[in-house]
Chain A
């Protein structure tokens, strides 16, 4: 640490006013404040905040909360790979290596492209580099399928950062979640690479006999009338990946899917970190799950098709609902700001997710579209909550 500090101090003078690299001061400043808490102190006058938790520290907390998902995801990519090619006996290290080999390049590309654009914009607009991309850069790989072409990751990241964020004024000004913008971009631009059977990394190897790349959502959507989705899920994978879609395994997460989304358990650990540190809103997390569960119960009561009759608790562990609820819906910039608004916002996300899942076969995973949709409506929810509050207080006033 001392060494880093010394090195930074040594080059500092050339970035300061009058130095030869003055133009790039904000690039220097970004690296400095990323590594060390800034040593600037407030003026003696005015409000004093005695807290080292600035935006960068806050973002790091979110990244730490994502680490369980990431590590599990890396291992799971390898695990699914060996299951799919019929080598169930492969060791822990082998799986980890395959997972790292697939996942790390995606992470590197995402950070490289995104931070590059952030640096360019901060130098052009002469403002400090925004820390917002620290989290986005990690979220983007976690919502990608394991064998997504790397150039697509780069293009999607560039699109999301420029159109989703910088066009609106940079970090904290974006209307919709940046990481989901990247995913939605790929979803509509190159649909064949992000839907269907892409959720398991096969590589050059031959898939085992009877292999199917279907996800639980696809299995549920394809179940024919008169059969039960639960039976179809329980018997799926017979012969090559026994019990991959049982309720217990769906919860733990050894199943194909986007890199970080598969494990509900890891998402809940992340949620715990976010809630304990006060980084994420527990109201949003709880209400997304609650909304989804309520909607699923309602559909169960109505009935009609096997997917509609899927037991409500299954909906909470399949697809990316847990990941979206914990890491995407809680994004403080795009979520509703008022406390009542957060409940409404979360509930609607959960309900919409299930509706899209069950009734729209073109979009098998509803959580992405549901969150993007509610991002747009979040200001309206806040507006209604604030107006209602004003109305109530005016009635109470006795002037």
Chain B
């Protein structure tokens, strides 16, 4: 799955997409995934994934914020005094978050209501701050953009996987479409999947599957 997503991005490629830069997109999807490997952004991953629609919107929102904040900070990186860099980063992230928030409110009001505080909480999302600190502060705007998109995609991928299983097992539907009913099968919704504990279990299983495929182990 990760390869396929990376390819789609690659097609739009220009000279910017060197082999090293392509890794900025593909790594977060697998061996450097922000959720399953770095274990960041777990709170929102558990909170917004009861259905796929909010999960998708949340992923897009986070990707936009990460990518654009990365670019802005990367442009400003040589002029930011290091002692106040966090507050500068916060100001930039907050600006983007408010813009995204207003856009969602204007165009997808019902989803915005469902996401409630979690759009606002992107400001404190560890993935955004982490990428700014770890990448944008030391790299040019181009790669920073790719890095932001890559991490947004990695986050979104996991959110959609978790959302898929939670919505399917919990409510028997995908994107609000009643799958089992359409097949003529009676399905009893699994209440555990609608609780955050269910999301935790699914994230755990995703990590289990991912690690048994790519053989990743923690190194001390």
A interface residues, Cβ below 8 angstroms from B? 163, 167, 185, 188-191
A189 to B187, CA, bound (A): 13
B208 / chain A contacts, CB cutoff of 8 Å: 167
Candidates A167, A189, A190; contact of B204 at CB < 8 Å: A167
CB proximity of A347 to chain B, nearest CB, Å: 27
Which secondary structure dominates chain B's binding surface? helix
Q: Which residues of B contact A190 (CB under 8 A)?
A: 188, 190-191
- Interface contacts beyond A163-B201, A190-B188: sample of 9 additional A-B pairs, CB < 8 Å, sorted by A: A163-B204, A185-B192, A188-B191, A188-B195, A188-B197, A189-B192, A189-B193, A190-B190, A190-B191
Q: What is the chain A residue whose CB lies nearest that of B170?
A: A189
Return chain B residues, CB-CB under 8 Å to A185: 192
Contact B191 A189, beta carbon cutoff 8 Å: yes
- Chain A residue numbers with a CB within 8 Å of B204 are 163, 167
Nearest residue, chain B, Cβ from A166: B208
CB of B201 within 8 A of CB of A188, answer: no
Per CB-CB distance, the 10 closest pairs between chain A and chain B, nearest first, are A189-B192, A188-B192, A189-B190, A189-B191, A188-B191, A163-B201, A191-B191, A188-B195, A185-B192, A167-B208
User: A163 contacts which chain B residues (CB < 8 A)?
Assistant: 201, 204-205
Chain B, range 154-210, C-beta contacts under 8 Å to A? 188, 190-193, 195, 197, 201, 204-205, 208
- Bound-state Cα–Cα, A185 to B192, Å: 7
In the complex, chain B residues whose CB is within 8 Å of the CB of A189: 190-193
| B residues adjacent to A (C-beta < 8 A) | 188, 190-193, 195, 197, 201, 204-205, 208
Interface of A is mostly: helix
A188 / chain B contacts, CB cutoff of 8 Å: 191-192, 195, 197
Bound together, the chains give a CA A190 to CA B195 distance in angstroms of 12
Q: How far is the CA of A167 from the CA of B208 in the complex (A)?
A: 8
Contacts of B193 in A (CB 8 A): 189
- CB B69 to nearest CB in A, in angstroms, measures 36
Q: Min CB distance, A118 to chain B, in Å?
A: 18
> How far does the alpha carbon of A153 sit from the alpha carbon of B177 in the complex, in Å?
28
Chain A nearest CB: distance from B52 CB in Å?
A: 20
Write 15 A-B pairs (CB below 8 A) sorted by A numbering: A163-B201, A163-B205, A167-B204, A167-B208, A185-B192, A188-B191, A188-B192, A188-B195, A188-B197, A189-B190, A189-B192, A189-B193, A190-B190, A190-B191, A191-B191
* Residue in B192, B195, B208 with the greatest tally of chain A CB atoms within 10 Å: B192
**CB-nearest residue of chain B relative to A189?**
B192
Distance between A163 CB and nearest chain B CB, rounded to angstroms: 6
Most central of A185, A188, A189 by chain B CB within 10 Å: A189
Give the most central of B190, B204, B205: most A CB within 10 Å.
B190
Residue in A closest to B195 when the chains form the complex, CB atoms: A188
Closest approach, in angstroms, between the C-beta of B38 and any C-beta of chain A?
A: 21
Residues of B within 8 A of A191 (CB): 191
A292 CB, min distance to chain B CBs, angstroms: 26
Q: Which residue of A lies closest to B201 (CB)?
A: A163
A172 to chain B, nearest CB (A): 19
Q: Which residues of A contact B195 (CB under 8 A)?
A: 188
**B192 partner residues in chain A, CB cutoff 8 A:** 185, 188-189
Q: State A185–B195 Cα separation when bound (angstroms).
A: 11
CA distance A188 to B189 in the complex (A): 11
Question: CA A370 – CA B204 in complex, angstroms?
Answer: 24
A167 nearest in chain B by CB position: B208
Contacts of B188 in A (CB 8 A): 190
Kindly state the separation between the CA atoms of A291 and B17 in the bound complex, as whole angstroms: 66
* Closest Cβ–Cβ distance, residue B203 to chain A (whole Å): 12
Beta-carbon nearest neighbor of B188 in chain A? A190
- Nearest Cβ distance between residue B166 and chain A, in whole angstroms? 12
> How distant is A7 from chain B, measured CB to nearest CB, in Å?
37
Q: Which residue of B lies closest to A162 (CB)?
A: B205
A19 vs B204: C-alpha distance when bound (angstroms) = 38
Smallest Cβ distance from B16 to chain A, in angstroms?
42
